[in-house]
A = this chain, B = another copy of it.
Amino acid sequence: MKEEELIRLITAEVVKELCKRNNSMAIPVALSNRHIHLSQKDLDCLFGPGYTLTKLRDLSQPGQFAAKEKVKLIGPKGILEDVRILGPVRNQTQVEISIGDGYQLGIMPPVRPSGDLADTPGCIVVGPKGVVELKNGVICAQRHIHMSTEDGARFKVRDKEIVKVRCGGLRALVFDQVLVRVSPNFRLEMHLDIEEGNAAGLKNGNFVEILKEG
């Protein structure tokens, strides 16, 4: 890891810790690039029977990790190479892409919360040992905030509540239709896709706030 990257990471951690101690209402942001969650069955098809993902790095949400393994996605109009697999395996395979990625593939991904895959389009997934033709599972993830039960109480929001979130700076905006997910297993973080993050001029570790209306 480069020294610069290390300093950036340490700084982000220190700021998060200070925010926690100060009982700050700031929420750190993470931008999600295109990725795929696989079922064990599809992982077997793509990488061989009984395959186990190799952890590249932990993600902020406890237990979640970016795997070393990548796949290729094919749609009617194009290909997305080097799409990262996120682990652990799930009950159903889910592909999360941006609207821009969708144009490249020739698939219009509907904006959906994670797991809500009914009537979504599919695509072809290519791994080193096989190919899976997904009937559905391609979505554009609805922007959302993960928070612990403790943070839910602190922010006075319920699981599945829809809130507005304000971002500052030169590309300041207020995101509406932000889904709140509260669980003892979650860690405070807002997830946006790359296009949403870029539209707001946000980078990983920047902070946003829930907008309280009068």
Contacts and interface: CB of A to CB of B under 8 A. Distances in A.
Interface of A: 98-100, 111, 142-143, 170-177, 193-196, 198-201
18 contacts: A98-B198, A99-B201, A100-B100, A100-B194, A100-B195, A100-B198, A142-B170, A172-B176, A173-B174, A173-B177, A174-B176, A193-B199, A194-B195, A195-B195, A195-B198, A195-B199, A198-B199, A199-B199
A169 to B, nearest CB: 8
A201 B111 contact: yes
Contacts of A142: 170
A111 B170 contact: yes
Contacts of A201: 99, 111
A203 B200 CA distance: 18
Contacts of A196: 199
B171 A173 contact: no
